[in-house]
Structure 1
Amino acid sequence: MSHSKRLINDFLETIQSWKDWISFNYIEIIHVRQGVLTGIELETRCQLAVLLEKIRRCEADEKEMVELLDKFNV
């Protein structure tokens, strides 16, 4: 999760000096995508919390957590 956030934040930092020459439409698209990623991150964190509880109660396998995290990175 932090890797994806770091990538988009690095990209935003890179374009900051070019902001005056980049179309507002592109800036808006970037910020919308950032919001979408934040929503996905929140949903994934909630799913991880539930999954951790299930793993502690031996109701789920750790492989499910790996699959969930792999889906997030896609």
Structure 2
Amino acid sequence: MENIRDQNIESLYLIAKRACCDIGIECEQREAVHLLGEIARQGNKEADTALHMLFRAPFLHPLLREMVASDLTT
């Protein structure tokens, strides 16, 4: 992930992106997306990049993708 150098942003990205064992999404994943959105709205370009990368990630849970899309439009 050459576009993201901040380890906190990278950690949130990886938490949000990880595959679930079941069909639901985990609380940690929702919280990671929420935090990335908050940080991106504060002007952090790496958080914004992470959200765009998540939105394009294959196999992202549809509800997480919807959360990401919501954060990209605000």
Same-fold call, TM cutoff 0.5: no
Give the structure with the larger helix fraction: 1
Bigger Rg, structure 1 or 2: 1
TM category, shorter? 0.3 to 0.5
Give the structure-2-normalised TM-score: 0.36
